[in-house]
Structure 1
Amino acid sequence: MSTTSLKLSEELKQRAASAAQELGVSTHAFMVDAIRQAADGVEQRSQFLAQAQSAHAAMLQNGQGYNADDVHAYLRERLANRQTVKPALKPWRK
C-alpha cells in the first residue's frame, strides 16, 4: 500500500475530522472511504454512459426502441410491484 499526502484547508480538515468522529471512524479511514466512493461513482457513471452509447448505437442499427410512455408505466409498476413485464421493442423508423 502506498502513502499519499493531501493538502487540505484547515476548514476542510476540521470538517473531515468532525464527520469521522460522528461516524466513529478515524479521519484517515473517513478520507480513504470518501476517495473510494468518489472513484466508484466515476466508474459507475462511465459504465452507464458506455451502456447508453451501446444501446443508442443498437437502436440506430436495428431501428427499434421503447415507447417512453411504456417505459414510464413499466417503471411505475416496478416500483410498486417487482414482478412486471418489460415493455416490448417497437420499430421507430417510418
Structure 2
Amino acid sequence: MATISVKLSDSTRDRLQTAALHLGLTPHALMVHAIEDAVQLAETRHSLIEQALASRQRVATTGLVVDGAAFGDYLKAKVRGNAAKRPEPMGIENFVASGK
C-alpha cells in the first residue's frame, strides 16, 4: 500500500480525532473513508460530465431533441404503471421555434 502524507491544521486534526472517536474509528480509518468517498464523488461527477458532453455532441450531430416536459410526463406515467408512449425526438429548430 502506498503512503501519502497529509498536512492538517491543528484545529482540523483535533476535529478529525473527535469525529473519529465518535464514530468508533481511528483517525486513519476516517481519513481513508473520507478519501474513498471523495474519489467516488469525483469519478461520478466526471462520468456525468462525460455523458452530458456525449449528449451535447449527439444533439449537435443529429439536431434531434426531446421535449423535457413531455418526457417528464412520460416518466411519471411509467412510474405510476400507466401505459405511455415515449415522446418522439424532434428537430431542435422546431423545439426552439415553438418557444418551449
Q: CA deviation at 1:93?
A: 2.7
**Change over 3 Å in CA distance of 1:83–1:54 after alignment to 2:** farther
The answer as to whether partners of 1:74 and 1:86 remain within 8 angstroms in 2 is yes
CA distance in 1, matches of 2:9, 2:3: 19
1:33 aligns with 2:33: yes
> What is the percent sequence identity of the aligned residues?
30
RMSD (Å), alpha carbons:
2.5
Q: State the AA in 2 paired with 1:17.
A: Q
TM-score w.r.t. length of structure 1: 0.79
Count of residues in Structure 1 that have an aligned counterpart in Structure 2: 92
Stretches of structure 2 lacking an aligned partner (at least 5 in a row): 95-100
Stretches of structure 1 lacking an aligned partner (at least 5 in a row): none
TM-score w.r.t. length of structure 2: 0.75
Larger Cα-atom Rg: 2
